[in-house]
Structure 1
Amino acid sequence: MTRPLVLADPAPPRRPRIPRLLQQTAFRRYWSAQTVSLFGDQITMLAVPLLAVLAIGAGPVEMGYLTAASLLPHLFFSLPAGAWVDRYPRRRHVMIVADLGRAGLLLAVPLLWWAGALNLPLLCAVAFLIGTLSVHFEVAHSSLFAALVRRPDYVNASSLINGSRAMSYVAGPSVGGVLVQVLTAPVALVADVLTYLTSAVFLTRMRVTEHPVHSGPGLGMVAGVRYVARSAVLRAILLGTTTLNLFTYMFTALFVLYVTTELDVSPGVLGLVVGAGAFGGLLGAAVTGPLSRRIGIGPAVVLGLVVFPAPLILVPLAGGPRPLVLALLITAEFVSALGVMVLDIAAGSVQTAATPERMLAVVSGFRRTVNYGIRPFGALIGGVLGAAIGVRSALWISSIGALLGVFWVVFSPLRTMRSLPET
C-alpha cells in the first residue's frame, strides 16, 4: 500500500545574524556609545565652522585659529593625559565625564549665540576645551577596550567600531547639513549635545571589570615613550603611520584646491565624490577580519599601508573627459577609504596586543602626540611645495611619498606576523 505523502513543515525564515560581540550586553553598550558619539562628532565638524562663518563672519585667518584651537590639545595633552589615565582606576568614568563635559560646552555655544555674546575667542576656547576632553576620552578608550574585549576578539571588535566610524563619515555630514539647513547651525549643535548625553548614558549602564592600576617604577610618560622605542613592532607601526600622515596631509592640503580649480569639479559634485568614496570604508571594516585571518595580521598592516595611499596617485593622473575624471576620483576615494580601514583595524589591534595593559593609555597618548603633531607640518609643507613647484607636481610627490611608510613595516617582524603579538 502506498504511504501517504507527508509535506515537511517549511523551514523557519532565517533571522539576520547578529555579531557575537554585539550579543554581549557590556560590549553592545560600549559600541553604541562609540557609534552615537562618532555621529555627533561629524555634526560638530560641520556645524561649528558654519557657525563661525555665518554667525561671526569668520574669514580664512579666523578659521585657521579655530582649527588650530581644536587640534592643539591632541598635540600637547595626549601624552600626559595617557600617563594620568593609566594611574586612574576608573577609565569608564573618565569617558563619561568627558562626554558630559563636551555636551555642556556645546550647549553653551547656542546659549551664547542667542544672548548675543558669542565671538571668535569664546568659540576658540570652547573648541580647545572640547579637544582637551576628547583627548582624555580617546586615551581612556584604549584601556577600557582591553578590559572589555578578549584578546582573540580584538580584530572583530575593532571592525565593528571602525564600521560605525565609516558609517558616520557617510551619513554624518549629510545629517549635519540637513540640521544646519533646517534648524540653523546653533540649533544643530543641540542635536550634538544629545549624542554626547546618549553616549554617557550607554557608558553609565555598562558593567565591566577594569584592570587594576599598577604603581611604581616603569610607568609614566618617559616609560611609555621608551617602551614604544624599544618595541620593534610598535616602533615600526608608529614610524610607518607617521610617514604616511606627513605625506597624506601634504596631499589633503592641496586636494580640494586642485580638484575644484584644475579639474573644474564643482563643490556639490566633489561632495558626492567624497561621499561615494566613504562607502569604501564600510567595505574595509567588513573585510579586514576575514582578510587578517587569511593572510595574517602583520601582512594586513602592510597591505593597509599600501592600499591607503596608492590610489591617491589617480588624482594627479586624472584628466580627459569629465566621466573619466570623476571615475578616477571616485576610485581613488573608494579604494583609499578601504585601505584606511584595513590599516586602522589591523594596526590598532596589533598595537593593543603588543602593549602591556598598565601602559595602554600612555602609549596611546604618545602615538596620538606624534601622529597628530605631524599633520599640521604636512599641511604646511604641502602648501609651500604647491606654491613653489605647482599643485599637480606637489600632489605627485605627496601621493608617491606616502608609500614610503610601508618600508618601516616591511623590514620589521610584522611582515611575517600571522597572529597578534605578545607584549
Structure 2
Amino acid sequence: MKAKDIMNCFFVECLISDSADTIKNKMLEAQSDFALVVDKHGKYMGIIYANAVFRWHNMSHSCADLFEAMPSILEDADLKAVHDNYKSVIPVVNKDQYPVGIIQMKEIFDLWQSEQKENNYQKKGPSSRSAKYTIDDIVGHTHAIMSLKERIISAAKVKSTVLIMGETGVGKELVAQAIANLSARRFKSFVRINCAAIPESLLESELFGYEAGAYTGALKGGNLGKFEIADGGTILLDEIGDMQLVMQAKILRVLQEREIEKIGGRYPIPVDVRIIAATHADLDRMMNENTFRHDLYYRLNVIPIHIPPLRDHIEDIEALFLYFMEKCSIEMEIEIPTVESGVFEMLSHYHWPGNIRELKNLVEMLAASSNGRITKGMLSSYFTDKMDLHDSNENYLKLNAFEAEREMILKYLKVHDNNKNKVADVLGISRSTLYNKLKRYQIK
C-alpha cells in the first residue's frame, strides 16, 4: 500500500518565517498539536509541535528556532519505507517536495490490525468491505461539482449524520463512499442497505440481526445485522424515504441511544456507527403527509448534501463521457474509440432524466457497438427526432446495450428501406461489420 492511499489531506501548514504567536493561533484554530513547516516557496522543511510553541516565552521568535527537521515520505512510496526515525506523524510530500498530507502512526497500526482481522471481516460477508469509491471518482469541474466536493470534505471531518438528497442516478452512493473514504473511519466497514429493496417484514432482521431461535427458520447461531457489521465504520441507509414509520422509529432510537436490539434479544447492544442516509424522495412533502417522521428528519439532516442533476452541470458532459469511455474500453479490452465532431454538442442538448447513470449506460452501449469511432448517427435513435432535444419527455436510452444496438439497427433498416450500405454509413461501421451484427442479432 502506498502512502497516498491512507494519508490525511487535512493539516496545519506554517511558514518558516512565521512567529510563534502566529503558529499558536493556527494550531488553536485547527485544534491541532502540530504543523508542517514550509519555506517561502512552499516546500517541506519539517514539523513544529505544540509543546515547543507553548513553552516558548518570547512569542515573537520565529518558527526557525522551534521546528524539527523530520524526514518526509513520498506520496507514491510504499508504507514499508516507514522506519524508526519517524515519530507520531509522518509528513507526505510529492516529487517536488510540496506537502500533500500526513499519516498518523496510529493509522498504520490500525491498518495492520485490520489486516490481522481480515478473516473475521470476511466471515461477516461482502457487505463488510471498506468503501470502494473516493472523491477522485466524482468527475467534473463546474461550480456545482466543486461545491459538492467542498461539502463532502467538510462532512468527512466530523462524525455527524449526513442526509444525501438528489434525483435517481445522480450518484448518491458514490458521494456516501467518498465521505467514508475521507473520514477517520476509512479503514473500517462501509455497509450499504437499500431500504426500498427489502420487504418491511425482513428489514428489521437485516438491520438489527436476530438471536438463535428468534423465529421459525432462524439460523441456528443467530445472525448479525447490518449495524453490527458496520460497527466502527459507516452505514448507508439508501432510499430511506421508502422506509415505513415503524422502522423509522427504530432508526431514530439508534441515532439517539447509539444501541440496537436484536430480534429475540434480551439486552441492547451498543454500536459505534456513522449513519449516512440517502433519498430521491421529497421528505418535506412526506412530513406534511405524515409518512416521514419529523424527529427522524431533523436527526438525519445534520449535514444536508444535495447532489445536482446532470442537466444543472451539463458542461461536465464531455469529461464524464470520456471518463466512462476509458473505463468501458479497459473492461472490454478495446481501444478507446475516437469521437466525431458534434457528438458532445448533441449530448449537451439532451435533458438526461436518468442523470449520470443514464450517461454511463449510453457510453457502455456505444463502446460495445462502436467500430473504433463514435458518430452522431449512433446517438440519434436514442433521442427525439426533433433538433431541439430539450422538448423530449421520454428517455430514449435503453439500459441493455445489446437490446439497444439491435433496436437501433432495426430502426435504420426501416428508415433506409433495408439499404445496408446506407445503414452501415450512418452507424459509422463497415458493411461486413453490419452483416456480422445482423447475424448476431438474428435480423433477417
- Give your verdict on TM over 0.5: no
When you count strand as a share of all residues, which structure comes out higher?
Answer: 2
Higher relative contact order (CA 8 A, sep 6+): 1
TM superposition score normalised by structure 1: 0.24
Larger helix fraction of residues:
1
TM-score w.r.t. length of structure 2: 0.23
